[in-house]
Amino acid sequence: MTVIDFHTHLDEYWFGRPMLDRDRFLAGMDRCSVSKACIFTLRGFSGDCRRHNDALAAHARTTPDRLIPFVTVDPKEGDAAVRELHRCLSDPIFRGIKFHSWLQAFAPSMVRQTMLDILQCAAEHEVPVFFHDGTPPYATTFQIAALARWAPRATIVLGHAGLADYVQPAAELARDLPNLYACPCGPKAGDIAHLVQTAGAHKVLFGSDFGFADWPLLAERLDDVLEAGLNEVDLSKVMCGNASRLLRLEPS
Amino acid sequence: MATNNRIIDAHAMLGVENHLAMEVDELLRRMDVYGIEAAVARPMGAELVIDFVAGNDRLLSTPNRIFAWVTANPWAGVRALDELERCRDRGAVGLFLHPARQGFMPTEPMVVPLLEQATNFNWPVMFHTGTYVNADVLAVVELARRYPSVAFVAGFGGFADMWFEMPGAMAEVENLYLDLSMTWSAEIKQITTGSGADRVLYGSAEPRNRYPVTLRALDRLDLEGPQRQAILCDNVRRILKLP
């Protein structure tokens, strides 16, 4: 079965601890039979987005068939953030936008106009906008899902599908909002079965947070989905088909 | 998977809560498939919050392989204390509290009589942890300081985004234990290394999580034999005084 991991982090270190380098990252993907991974920054959430966006692009250029970089910007910077977004998305190697509004210290409503500009840019480039969700006060599932209503032409992804305490609303919101998707990175098998049953298998994307820890995390998150009791067709959509569609990947 | 050890599940759930449901027959079936000798289960949903007598009865009427974390809503006052006494007489082994669902802060005065009763019964107390505000891991640490003779278990180990408080919390107080049922393996490893394997309890969080997922996660840690035995069986037997 082909697997695309829609939620990983490839960076140098985090809180002073070294993270996986690219070779070890790819080795972890191999070990868990993951074909492609959307790669996000971590340190870029604290500033200097441009440098971290360029670093992700450089990683992807070494292995373009496997690593798919997502750009991040700081919406608190207003027009400068939108300019950085345009700069990155003019390079087709970038296939999505990543925000972690908890770590980046904004609620979307605090930066509404800039966020609307960002979502418009995302819609023009046909790239998904991926948000951490499930954590108050800046990243509740409701705060993130609201963006799908603000910009119906943009594709919004709940990066943790409600995480611990918001799974039930995440499932219903992904069902009710055509442009809202759920990436169950953290929710467990019982939750994932519910997400697929409620929102539909076409709205759920596998993601792991791999890179934040070594391959056992990836294996664990794969188990979460594999033990959810999905049928083969639904499993294939969750593991690969939906990601391929949102990323506009060529059929292999 | 971990088939060479006796395995006791320190945290399963029985009843119905939103999209999750588990009946005793299904739990026993899953336990048999994965070689789980015994499980300690707690109520969920309405049977945790309002109908806690019914929830406790559901647990206390199960076969011998399933032991009971019983609950009572602290807002019920004297009725809660009477219920815990009734449960003690019927063989309950510990107190489970869910501050987010039951609607209180762990340090609020209304909880004191329940904790004193647990102390008198020589029961451990498992708190749900990880939900912001009410189920703050560090609030349970405060209680562990106030009741040093009571074993407190951090149910769900701060899942999700209070996980990073757990290693420090475990270092702060010696009478706090990790329920690993929802915890990612890197954190289990960190806590096992930092605070010792005797502070970690294997739990499944069935029906939310699954036996194969939690057992494989533990396998990948490559723990030494005595550490595995402690986590999978010995700690929960000791703390809950199981046969």
> What SS3 state is found at A17?
strand
Best mutation site among B208, B216, B223 for testing chain A: the one with the most A CBs within 10 Å?
B208
Nearest to A135 among B161, B182, B209 (CB): B161
Residue B130 sits at the chain A interface (C-beta within 8 Å): yes
Find chain A residues with C-beta within 8 A of B207's C-beta: 190
Rounded CA-CA distance A101/A134 in Å is 11
Average pLDDT over residues B88-112: 98
Residue A186 touches partner B, C-beta closer than 8 Å = yes
**B3: pLDDT strictly greater than 60:** no
- Indicate the residue of A136, A167, A227 with minimum beta-carbon distance to B212: A227
Q: Is B220 on the interface with A (CB under 8 A)?
A: yes
What percent of chain B stands above pLDDT 90? 97
Cis? peptide before B46, omega within 30° of 0: no
Q: What is the mean pLDDT of residues B88-110?
A: 98
* Most distant CA atoms of chain A, gap in Å: 46
Does the distance separating the beta carbons of B20 and A190 come in below 8 Å?
yes
- Does residue B1 sit within a domain? no
Domains of chain A: 4-247 (3.20.20.140)
pLDDT per position as a tens digit, B56-66: 999 999 989 99
Taken in order B188, B191, B194, B198, is the CA torsion positive or negative? negative
Contacts of A46 (CB under 8 A, 6+ apart): A103
Residue A134's φ and ψ, nearest 5 degrees, are 105, 0
Chain A contact for B26 (CB, 8 A cutoff): no
Is the pLDDT at A217 greater than 60, yes or no? yes
What is the CATH number for B124?
Answer: 3.20.20.140
In a domain, B187, yes or no: yes
Domain membership of residue B89 as a residue range: 8-240
Residue B99 domain-assigned (yes or no): yes
The residue among B87, B81, B50, B54 whose CA lies nearest residue B68 is B87
Nearest-angstrom CA–CA distance, B183 and B13: 17
**Long-range contacts at B19-25 (CB < 8 A, ≥ 24 apart):** B19/A167, B19/A168, B19/A171, B19/A190, B19/A191, B19/A193, B19/A194, B19/A197, B19/A198, B20/A190, B20/A194, B20/B44, B20/B207, B20/B208, B21/B207, B22/B206, B22/B207, B24/B58, B24/B62, B24/B63, B24/B66
Whether residue B180 is contained in a domain is answered as yes
Give CA–CA dist B48/B18, Å, rounded: 13
Q: Check A164 against B130: CB less than 8 A apart.
A: yes
- The pTM is what? 0.97
Does some domain include residue B90? yes
Q: Which residues of A touch B213 (CB under 8 A)?
A: 188-189, 220, 223-224, 227
Q: Is residue B32 part of a domain?
A: yes
Q: Which residues from A are below 8 Å from B212, CB to CB?
A: 223, 227
What's the total number of domains in chain B?
1
How wide is the angle at C-alpha A51 spanned by C-alphas A50 and A54, nearest 5°?
Answer: 85
Q: Is A164 on the interface with B (CB under 8 A)?
A: yes
CB of B1 closer than 8 Å to CB of B216: yes
> Tens of pLDDT along A114-172?
999 999 999 999 999 999 999 999 999 999 999 999 999 999 999 999 999 999 999 99
Is the minimum CB–CB distance between B16 and chain A shorter than 8 Å?
no
